[in-house]
Structure 1
Amino acid sequence: MLSPAVAEETEVNNFDSCYLDGWSNALRCKKIPVGEGEAAVDLAIMIAPAVNDVGLEPLYLLAGGPGQAASYLTPILNALYKVNQSRAIVLVDRRGSGYSAAFDCGIDGEVHMDLDAITDQFATCYHENAAFAKTLHSRQAVEDLEKVRLHLGHKKIALWGGSWGTRTALLYQQWFPDSLSVLILDAVAPIDTKVFLTAQAAENALIKLEEDCNRDPVCSAFGDWRSSLDNLLTHWDERAVNFPDPHSGNKIEAETPRSFLQNLIRTALYTPETAAQLPYTISQVEEGNYLPLSGLAGLLSDDGSMSMGLTLSVACAEELNRTSEEELAVDIRDSFLGDAFFEIFAEGCKVWPVSPIVYGVPEERSHPVLIISGEADPITPYYYAEQSLDYLTESKQLVVPGGGHINTMRGCIPKLINDFLKSPLNSLDSNCITEIQRPPFMAGAFGPEIDKAASSELLSGQGDNK
């Protein structure tokens, strides 16, 4: 087997130079054929070569979803700049995503409110692509990843996974342990955790936001915005008529269901930056101003990175089929979210028939593992690692204060990842994460409050050369 350095030298002439939005350097890109018949796809591979290649195993980045394309992970590439100095970073768009025959069912980045209409679109998409839909699953994605490793001649690889990408990484660890050196899991979705039961995690994230707001002098001035939110949810059917279109600001003629608001709040909790807008946004609704809430909906509309056909094929076969009504009832109890998130997939899976897939019980593994969790993650909470990863004998966890979903780019986390990769078996000095704080809460239409001294300096132009 070729070493990483020799392998890259051997393959370099077979690659084209390409670029991805958000990453200024040229990547080495190619496609390799995988699968046969209806499952055949040209798999897109994109490599950020090591700046100073010293023969270290490459780091592969695995996207979430399921259904997100790895080619959308350029923000992670930027965060891992120091890692890239000595290691190649490899992106692979799994079958059905990104540049590997994106299976998006024509679902664009617009704000969608009508679940029945979306479900009908799913049904049409499945009918037109049933053979392909039935071929997509996690085992296939993991085996494709192993084919890429062999094709590139990498003896061993390190894996970074984000969200559902952590599930893919953990399955790769189970099925191809000899091909793996270390794992980095950001927002971990353990193999035996039912991650579509997310209502309690979302509720806990909202409670944490409320607690932090109450301790903040600016945010606490909004008063009991959580009660205002609960009241808005209770009376949404009659108040939704006031909700303007997120893009035009005009009145929406179609019905805006309560589930839309529930999922909007859940999605806003994904990042501290958008969560920080919620208290102000809800307080404005109480005053009759729905524009900030509508603007937040527009900001959070899908960026097009998710291929919903792939999402449904994997989720329906591997998650929804093993989740009972009794478990759902327990999860949604006393939560703002209820079943609003789950029902999207429950209804989608009714028109997306795929065979159930069972992973099996995870076996003990001794690879060094770094787990990165957000203290206020609304979908993969930090306690998943404590509850479901006891078979990982060499793992360490970082919990980012106030962190939401995916924290690789926050504060000193990129440095800690680099330190871990250099010495994965050594203890990690992670004291720096205590310095990571939530961003300032939104205080008004123009964002956070700026203290008077800073404001005067900006207005006078005195800070231009500092």
Structure 2
Amino acid sequence: MKIKWQSLLALSLLSFSSLLLAEDNNTQNNKEVLSLENCHLKGIKSQVQCGTLQVPENYSLPEGEKISVNFAVLPAIDSSQNKTPLMFLAGGPGQASVELAAHIFSTFGEIKKSHDIILVDQRGTGKSHPLSCDENEVRNAYEIIPEDFSPQEIKDCIAQFKGDLSQYNSENAIRDFDAVRVALGHEKINIYGGSYGTRAALVYMRLFPDALNSVVLDSVGPIEVPIGTFGQSSARSFNLLLENCQQDESCNSAYPSLKDDFTAVIARLEQAPVNLKIAHPRLGTKTDFVLSRSKFISHLRMQLYSMQTRTLVPLVIHQAFLGNYQPMIGLIAMSEGGMGMYVGLTLNIVCNEDFPKITTEMFAGDANNTFGGNDSHSAWLQACPLWPKYAVSDDFYQSVTANIPTLILSGNLDPVTPPSNGDESAKTLPNNHHIVSKNSAHIVASTPCGIEIVNEFLTTLNPNDLDESCLAELKSETFMTHLNGNL
């Protein structure tokens, strides 16, 4: 369901001739057809390669129903170095890697100088048998909010899915990824996973350790830590923002009572949501919008992911305290259309791989915070009981142990995958180094410094003794103190 359901997204992932995939006992025993040809992707001027690979929907029935897995290869600028390719594992769950190609092409530029970058749309996303529902084109970020989350909407969505939902899981996704590796003729690859992509990377390490040259886990979502309980980590990130504002002379001067302002706004919206008339982000017409407590917190949480948008949070809170909600509306409009999540896959994975692990005590503990209470998991409590169930493999929740060179990256300000997550995964990975960037939030490699460290690691394959000095140069938030900027 490629629908911008912010209540879920904020909680929380073609002219070459056809080739025949060689037989590979580690991946599958039957031969599958690979299609690969030159192409152009949106946002990338140079020619790349696009392909599809037919794989079993159910790997236990290799001669049964097939699905098409979509992928792209961003060729290295200097292929003469013949360096091991890097496969990018997207976040979510529910992001399609190929749809992120332009962003990856730009952000991973240093790496692409000497490494091919392989992008695979995870099954259930993009052009890999997407779990999508018909979407009303009028829908937008103003309208897709927690209160619009209805049981009937989920039931209607499930009814439109074709295929066996139980096969759209993390382990089969990795079997697809490895099938692409084999089809492209690579004995080994490096993998980079960000956010949910780290969960996928850990599963890859378990299923196909011999196929991996090195692993980068950026903003870790360990298998042991279920997706959907982000209340405590969001509160931690928000409290760090409050502390940083208090310690910043300009921010503290502009917002001396920021925490009290936030508490007052939340109490006001809890008592009486605000009815607003706002401009539709695409149509330009006036749209009725009801700003509730949960909407305010949900969208505020989303701003904590990025160092750029974190700088706006104090201004947004204070202006809301003064009765001006336009800065918040602006942030909501900015997020409209930006997530590109296939929420059908999000629900299918989280409701089966994570939700069953979360006990009543865990939900209660997660809700015991001063930021959003139980808002981080309330949507899952509504949706998951309605979603079809499947059983995960017996060893799925066991800690991953693999002696593969592994670089772990965490942002200290991350609202969803805090450094403690990286520590959890590091416990059972003997050949790892965990770097915590003090002034980073979600996805450390989104900065030139982070990419520089990743690139060095891919060159040395030694997670230790990397040059981390650039992290000390990353500045903390420079908060906006006026509606027209900093004066």
With over 3 angstroms needed to count, the CA separation of the structure-2 counterparts of 1:130 and 1:116, relative to structure 1, is: farther
Q: Which residue of 1 aligns with 2:434?
A: 397
Q: Which residue of 1 aligns with 2:94?
A: 67
Q: Distance in 2 between matches of 1:397 and 1:388?
A: 10
User: Could you tell me the percent identity over the aligned residues?
Assistant: 29
Which of the residues 360, 369, 376 maps onto 1:334?
369
After TM superposition, give the deviation of residue 254 of structure 1 in Å: 6.1
Q: Distance in 1 between matches of 2:408 and 2:181?
A: 23
With over 3 angstroms needed to count, the CA separation of the structure-2 counterparts of 1:218 and 1:86, relative to structure 1, is: same
Q: Distance in 2 between matches of 1:40 and 1:342?
A: 35
After TM superposition, give the deviation of residue 379 of structure 1 in Å: 0.4
Deviations 1:207-254 (A, max 9, x none): 111111112222112221221111211221444224454736988646
With over 3 angstroms needed to count, the CA separation of the structure-2 counterparts of 1:280 and 1:360, relative to structure 1, is: closer
Q: Which residue of 2 aligns with 1:43?
A: 69
Q: Report whether the alignment pairs 1:364 with 2:391.
A: no
Q: Report whether the alignment pairs 1:196 with 2:228.
A: yes
Q: Which amino acid counterpart does residue 266 of structure 2 have in structure 1?
A: L
Q: Distance in 2 between matches of 1:225 and 1:424?
A: 45
Q: Report whether the alignment pairs 1:415 with 2:452.
A: yes
Q: Which residue of 1 aligns with 2:12?
A: none
With over 3 angstroms needed to count, the CA separation of the structure-2 counterparts of 1:360 and 1:264, relative to structure 1, is: closer
Alignment of 1:19-418 (within 5 A): 19-36=40-57, 40-53=66-79, 54-73=81-100, 74-106=102-134, 110-111=141-142, 112-129=144-161, 131-220=163-252, 221-245=254-278, 247=280, 253=288, 255-358=290-393, 359-418=396-455
Q: Which amino acid counterpart does residue 21 of structure 1 have in structure 2?
A: K
After TM superposition, give the deviation of residue 166 of structure 1 in Å: 0.5
Q: Distance in 1 between matches of 2:319 and 2:243?
A: 20
With over 3 angstroms needed to count, the CA separation of the structure-2 counterparts of 1:211 and 1:57, relative to structure 1, is: same
Runs of at least 5 residues in structure 1 that lack an aligned partner in the other structure: 1-6, 451-466
Task: Count the aligned residue pairs.
Answer: 442
After TM superposition, give the deviation of residue 284 of structure 1 in Å: 0.9
| 8 Å Cα contact 2:133/2:160 also seen in 1 | no
Q: Distance in 2 between matches of 1:42 and 1:14?
A: 10
| 8 Å Cα contact 2:278/2:289 also seen in 1 | no
| 8 Å Cα contact 1:316/1:356 also seen in 2 | no
Q: Distance in 2 between matches of 1:10 and 1:200?
A: 49
After TM superposition, give the deviation of residue 305 of structure 1 in Å: 1.3
Q: Distance in 2 between matches of 1:66 and 1:19?
A: 26
| 8 Å Cα contact 1:187/1:381 also seen in 2 | yes
With over 3 angstroms needed to count, the CA separation of the structure-2 counterparts of 1:304 and 1:207, relative to structure 1, is: closer
Q: Which secondary structure does the structure 1 equivalent of 2:410 belong to?
A: strand
Q: Distance in 2 between matches of 1:39 and 1:407?
A: 39
Q: Which secondary structure does the structure 2 equivalent of 1:23 belong to?
A: coil
> What is the aligned-residue RMSD (CA, Å)?
2.5
With over 3 angstroms needed to count, the CA separation of the structure-2 counterparts of 1:297 and 1:200, relative to structure 1, is: same
Q: Which residue of 2 aligns with 1:18?
A: 39
Q: Which residue of 1 aligns with 2:466?
A: 428
What is the TM-score of this pair, normalised by structure 1? 0.88
Q: Distance in 1 between matches of 2:371 and 2:131?
A: 32
What is the TM-score of this pair, normalised by structure 2? 0.85
| 8 Å Cα contact 1:184/1:370 also seen in 2 | yes
With over 3 angstroms needed to count, the CA separation of the structure-2 counterparts of 1:65 and 1:8, relative to structure 1, is: farther
After TM superposition, give the deviation of residue 43 of structure 1 in Å: 1.0
Deviations 1:274-300 (A, max 9, x none): 111110111111222111111111112
| 8 Å Cα contact 1:105/1:308 also seen in 2 | no
Deviations 1:356-400 (A, max 9, x none): 325142342111111111111000001111134311011112222
Q: Which amino acid counterpart does residue 436 of structure 2 have in structure 1?
A: V
Once the two structures are overlaid, the 10-residue window that deviates more, 209-218 or 116-125, is 116-125
Once the two structures are overlaid, the 10-residue window that deviates more, 93-102 or 169-178, is 93-102
| 8 Å Cα contact 2:146/2:294 also seen in 1 | no
